């Protein structure tokens, strides 16, 4: 069974190394994330990308790692059912900032900076 | 002001995507306090809990309600978009689904369809879940 980050977001490829977390994700047309968002014009809620970043921080930092702050995020392009996302989350720099981006093919969909931390 | 339900047609979110439920207070034209929750049937909820960052969506929907209330009565409801998040602080890792949350949004800027809001979402007992500055686009 394919791994999902949330309902209908399937992990096609995922890798973690010294350069960070990279993944190819498929947004299934059947994802409940599109239910009611919006009728006849389904788009992925922007916060879905932030759930992906939380998942990446945990993949890089361990089970207790979590998302603590988002100094800046820009949503540049909407994501629709069936889109394939290429996501990159870099390891934290000296100030704890992890830069991330989400692409749909050659199109930059989301960019941002996140701070991770331990849960609790 | 008495608590009242957010009218069904005021914003386009439906079903499990609809997080905002009630208007708790409208203290002035630029400030709105809304109640809501993350439904257990949300795509982002697992085992009755959801990542706390989903509470940003509740705040964004409260901002959409503020835009609708401040706009022309009877205007067409169009999907709006979250275009930026700045200075977000997330105090907890996750929150329980179906538990009442309160989103307070204060409009700090407006230029055409673009608006900026300072937002706070709290949980039971007034526990702060997150704060942020959101920028939204009212859509076409």
A51 closest CB neighbour out of B53, B86, B89: B53
* The pLDDT value given to residue B94: 97
Q: How many CA atoms lie within 13 A of B29 on its CB side?
A: 4
Give the Cα-Cα-Cα angle B135, B139, B103 (nearest 5 degrees).
Answer: 45
Residue B77: is its pLDDT beyond 80?
no
Q: How far apart are CA B116 and CA B133, in angstroms?
A: 7
Q: Using alpha carbons, select from A89, A116, A93, A115 the residue that is nearest to residue A102.
A: A89
Q: Which domains does chain B have, with CATH numbers?
A: 4-137 (3.10.129.10)
pLDDT tens-place string over residues A47-104: 999 999 999 999 999 888 999 999 999 999 999 999 999 999 999 999 999 999 999 9
Q: Mind telling me how many Å the CA of A17 is from chain B's nearest CA?
A: 24
Q: Mind telling me how many Å the CA of B51 is from chain A's nearest CA?
A: 7
Reported ipTM exceeds the 0.90 cut: yes
pLDDT tens-place string over residues A18-60: 999 999 999 999 999 999 999 999 999 999 999 999 999 999 9
Residue B32: is its pLDDT beyond 90?
yes
Q: Which domains does chain A have, with CATH numbers?
A: 9-118 (3.10.129.10)
Q: Mind telling me how many Å the CA of B63 is from chain A's nearest CA?
A: 14
Confidence category of residue B1, pLDDT binned at 50, 70, 90: low
Give the long-range contacts of residues B72-79, CB within 8 A, separation 24 or more.
Answer: B77/B9, B77/B10, B77/B11, B77/B12, B78/B12, B78/B138, B78/B139, B78/B140, B79/A38, B79/A41, B79/A43, B79/B12, B79/B139
Chain A residues with CB-CB distance to B41 below 8 A: 32
Confidence category of residue B73, pLDDT binned at 50, 70, 90: low
């Amino acid at each position: 069974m394919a791994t999902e980050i949330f309902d209908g977001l399937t992990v096609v490829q995922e890798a973690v190394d010294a350069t960070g977390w990279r993944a190819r994700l498929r947004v299934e047309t059947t994802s409940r994330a599109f239910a009611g968002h919006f009728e006849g014009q389904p788009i992925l809620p922007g916060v879905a990308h932030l759930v992906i970043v939380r998942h990446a921080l945990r993949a890089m930092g361990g089970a207790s790692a979590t998302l603590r702050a988002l100094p800046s995020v820009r949503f540049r392009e909407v994501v629709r059912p069936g889109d394939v996302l290429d996501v990159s989350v870099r390891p934290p720099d000296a100030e704890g900032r992890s830069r991330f981006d989400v692409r749909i093919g050659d199109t930059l969909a989301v960019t941002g900076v996140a701070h991770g931390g331990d849960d609790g | 002001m008495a608590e009242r339900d957010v009218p069904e047609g005021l914003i386009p979110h439906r079903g499990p995507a609809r997080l905002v439920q009630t208007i708790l207070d409208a203290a002035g034209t630029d400030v709105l306090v809304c109640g809501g929750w993350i439904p257990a049937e949300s795509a982002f909820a697992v085992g009755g809990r959801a990542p706390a960052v989903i509470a940003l969506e509740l705040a964004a929907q409260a901002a959409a309600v503020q835009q609708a209330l401040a706009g022309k009565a009877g205007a067409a409801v169009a999907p709006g978009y979250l275009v930026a998040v700045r200075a977000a602080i997330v105090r907890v890792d996750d929150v329980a689904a179906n538990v009442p949350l309160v989103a307070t949004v204060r409009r700090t800027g407006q230029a055409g369809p673009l608006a900026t809001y300072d937002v706070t979402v709290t949980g039971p007992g007034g526990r702060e879940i997150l704060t942020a500055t959101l920028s939204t686009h009212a859509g076409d």
